């Protein structure tokens, strides 16, 4: 009888341990495994979503240069941002329900244009469904900025530029093979009409200036195409008038730039008694 009683007690104990084990498995271990698997998937999706909104914001900011007015430039930035987002986080990616990204383009008081992109995605869960969690939502946002630009392009047309084959030496000889003219035209075409101010100074022994303006196309490109090499290298006056043109715009919040094309040191000057800075701008040889 003692043996039978002992045998019955051991059986009941085994069943109790099994019940506790199953309970722990269902209440603790499986949810932890589910959290690890589903959490890992959500982490990867979050990283991908972040990359998608980052690329969308950057591409949108770059595309602000497209269009002839603010409205068309904003539309271009919005369309480009959405296209880049969809290319990096497509609909139904890993079974996700993806929202249409929200794109906004604004401008602050310091001539900065801001492109912000935000998006969310709802991902199905797998193991966590055992505890009643069917889906989880992830979200990401990004911000890119583009600063409006005021640029003066200062081009050396001195005779040495023609001798080097960088510029034509006779009028009407712009056959599309002159390196400086091609580079200057390509540079000007990178800016946005209606938002960026672009101006031009062409100098030799004297200078020509086209003041910076929002409506620089096609006038400045046409001016560049008419450049003919001749004269000395009057650098100082050219740089002064370019600086003065930017100063007159009086837009310290914008990115004010002078881009200078030349092939050598100054060897000429145009005098201006009303402006002593012109003379001071020329490098002087060191005294011995």
pLDDT, tens only, 195-211? 889 999 999 988 999 99
When pLDDT is cut at 50, 70 and 90, the band that residue 174 belongs to is confident
Q: How far is residue 207's CA from residue 27's CA, in Å, rounded to a whole number?
A: 84
Judged against a pLDDT cut of 80, whether residue 25 lies above it is answered with no
153, 124: one domain:
no
Give a yes or no: residue 288 inside a domain.
Answer: no
Give a yes or no: residue 251 inside a domain.
Answer: yes
Judged against a pLDDT cut of 50, whether residue 88 lies above it is answered with yes
Q: How does pLDDT run across 98-136, given as a tens digit for each residue?
A: 999 999 998 877 778 899 999 999 999 988 787 788 999
**Domain end (from 108, 130, 147):** 147
CB 225 within 8 Å of CB 174: yes
Tokens of 60: 């949108």
Give the pLDDT confidence score for residue 284 in this predicted structure: 38
182, 139: one domain:
no
96, 184: one domain:
no
When pLDDT is cut at 50, 70 and 90, the band that residue 287 belongs to is very low
Judged against a pLDDT cut of 70, whether residue 245 lies above it is answered with yes
Q: What is the mean pLDDT of residues 142-165?
A: 92
When pLDDT is cut at 50, 70 and 90, the band that residue 281 belongs to is very low
91, 45: one domain:
yes
Tell me the residue range of the domain where 239 lies: 149-280
CA 210 to each of CA 123, 167, 172, 214, 244: distance values in angstroms, whole numbers, following the listed order: 57, 19, 20, 12, 12
Give a yes or no: residue 165 inside a domain.
Answer: yes
Give a yes or no: residue 159 inside a domain.
Answer: yes
How many structural domains is the chain composed of? Answer: 2
Give the pLDDT confidence score for residue 177 in this predicted structure: 86
Lowest mean pLDDT among 7-16, 40-49, 112-121, 182-191: 7-16
pLDDT higher at 148 or 2: 148
3-state secondary structure of 42: helix
Average pLDDT, the chain: 83
Q: How far is residue 194's CA from residue 216's CA, in Å, rounded to a whole number?
A: 9
Give a yes or no: residue 285 inside a domain.
Answer: no
**Domain end (from 92, 126, 147):** 147
* DSSP structure string for 172-202: T---S--HHHHHHHHHHTTSPTTTSEEEEEE
């Amino acid at each position: 009888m003692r043996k039978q009683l002992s045998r019955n007690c051991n059986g009941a104990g085994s069943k109790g341990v099994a019940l506790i084990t199953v309970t722990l498995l269902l209440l603790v271990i499986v949810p932890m495994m589910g959290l690890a698997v589903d959490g890992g998937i959500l982490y990867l999706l979050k990283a991908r979503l972040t990359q998608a909104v980052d690329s969308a914001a950057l591409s949108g900011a770059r595309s602000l240069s497209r269009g002839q007015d603010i409205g068309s430039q904003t539309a271009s930035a919005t369309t480009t941002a959405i296209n880049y987002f969809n290319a990096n986080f497509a609909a139904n990616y890993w079974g996700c329900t993806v929202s249409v990204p929200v794109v906004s383009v604004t401008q602050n008081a310091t001539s900065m244009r801001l492109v912000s992109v935000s998006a969310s995605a709802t991902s199905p869960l797998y193991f966590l469904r055992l505890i009643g969690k069917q889906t989880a939502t992830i979200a990401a946002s990004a911000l890119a900025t583009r600063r409006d630009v005021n640029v003066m392009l200062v081009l050396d047309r001195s005779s040495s530029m023609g001798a080097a084959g960088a510029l034509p030496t006779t009028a009407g000889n712009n056959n599309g093979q002159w390196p400086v003219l091609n580079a200057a035209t390509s540079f000007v075409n990178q800016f946005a009409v209606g938002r960026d101010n672009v101006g031009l100074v062409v100098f030799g022994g004297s200078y020509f200036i086209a003041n910076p303006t929002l409506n620089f196309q096609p006038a400045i490109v046409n001016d560049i195409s008419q450049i003919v090499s001749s004269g000395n290298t009057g650098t100082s006056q050219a740089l002064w008038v370019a600086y003065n043109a930017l100063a007159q715009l009086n837009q310290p919040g914008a990115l004010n730039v002078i881009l200078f094309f030349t092939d050598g040191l100054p060897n000429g000057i145009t005098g201006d008694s009303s402006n002593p800075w012109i003379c001071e701008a020329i490098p002087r040889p060191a005294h011995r």
